[in-house]
Structure formats: structure tokens, C-alpha cells
Amino acid sequence: MRSGKSTSQILSKIIAQNSEQRRFSRVDVDILGRFMLEDRREYPCQVTNMSPGGAAIIAPVAGKVGERVIAYLDHIGRIEGRISRHIDGGFAVELNATPRKRDKLANVLTWLANRDALNLPEDRRHERFIPKNPITRIVLPDNRSYDCRIIDVSLSGAALKTEVRPAIGMEISLGKMRARVVRHMEDGIAVEFASIQNQQLLERHIAPDSF
């Protein structure tokens, strides 16, 4: 930046100036992701506006008012809540989040709302990619192991194509990474990592042991 101020300083100033307002105001966004209803079926979705307390979601299936929804969104990660009403082409969700989670979400929304105006670089904390070697192995708590293919992976989790479906919540090993199963998909599972590392270390650790 020409002013000599870092990106973090600029964002900190914006966040401080709008700390109270942003708790309730909605931000127009264009965020892609996937969501799951109570029947555990998964669908693609697009979030068109969002606040730390709710979101408007465009989706092929609307669900029922009051139904629980879990979504995994680009840039944001996992959110959950209940359908509050139907809208044209989708539904609105009232989010269920701790105060800490709401503050983190508000910070991300502040970033998304201001990055174009400030010419800020893309936030890549949760960008998905396909590793150079997508074939790896998962190991269950009883030491049974299964080969799997990585569909895509981010610094916080991965989608895996595998014939075995460990229970949601089960802790497994993916290569040398510890992970937790967070949802089932049509042809595999999605996992969250216990710790976040940089991409170079991540690619090394999700590869299977060579012996």
C-alpha cells in the first residue's frame, strides 16, 4: 500500500469503526459452497447476502422452515443454523454461533466487503486445491486402513472419495494428519483437520507413509 500501512492495520481500523454496526448489518456477497439438510443429503448453494446472525442462500432445494442446516462455504468454512423463511430461489438461515464465532464471521465479512474497494489481495485461508498426489490412505481408530482419493483439500479440511464411511465425529488419520469426519457425501466423506498448516506441509502430511 502506498500509505505504508499494512493490510491488517487497514482492516483493523475498518473493523473498529464498524464493530457495533456489523453485528447486525448484512453484506452483499457471492459465496459458493455446499449445504446439508437433516436428511443428510448434500446440495450446492450460493450465499447472496450475509451477516454474523443470518444468511440468504440460493439453492436447488429449500428445506422446511425450522429445519437444521449445516453449510460449508468458501472463505468462511462451516456454519450452522435453522431455516427461518423461504425466499425466491432458496431460503434464509438464522445462524447458531457462539459470540467468538460471530466475531470471526464479522471479520471475514468485513474483508469481503472491503477488499475490492481497498484493492486487497485475495484471502486464501480456505481456498481449495487438488494435491499433486491425490491418492492417500485413511486410518481408523482400530487401525484399519483404507485407500482413498482426495477430491479437493484446503488448509482446514478435505473432501475424500472412499468406499468406507466412518461415523460423523470420528477422529481418523489422513496420511500423517489428524482429522475428524464432519459429513458424509454421495461417494465419500468430508473431514476437518485438527490443526492448520501451510500448503507445502499439508501436501506432505496428507500423503501416505512410504513404508
CATH topology of domain 7-116: Thrombin, subunit H (2.40.10)
Cα atoms in the 13 Å half-sphere on the side-chain side of 176: 10
SS3 content of the chain, % helix, strand, coil (to 5): 20, 40, 40
pLDDT of 186 strictly over 60: yes
Q: Report domain extents, the chain.
A: 7-116, 135-206
Cα atoms in the 13 Å half-sphere on the side-chain side of 202: 25
Q: Which of 57-66, 83-92, 96-105, 120-129 has the lowest mean pLDDT?
A: 120-129
DSSP at 147: E
Locus of grid cell 425466499: 87
| Mean pLDDT value across residues 20-35 | 72
Output the pTM of the full model: 0.50
pLDDT at 69: 95
Return the closest-CA partner of residue 153 out of 133, 172, 169, 167.
133
pLDDT of 21 strictly over 50: no
Per-residue model confidence as pLDDT tens digits over 79-109? 999 999 999 999 999 999 888 888 888 888 8
Per-residue model confidence as pLDDT tens digits over 36-45? 999 988 888 8
- Asked if 15 and 65 touch (Cβ cutoff 8 Å), the reply is no
pLDDT at 5: 55
| Mean pLDDT value across residues 161-190 | 88
- Asked if 95 and 79 touch (Cβ cutoff 8 Å), the reply is yes
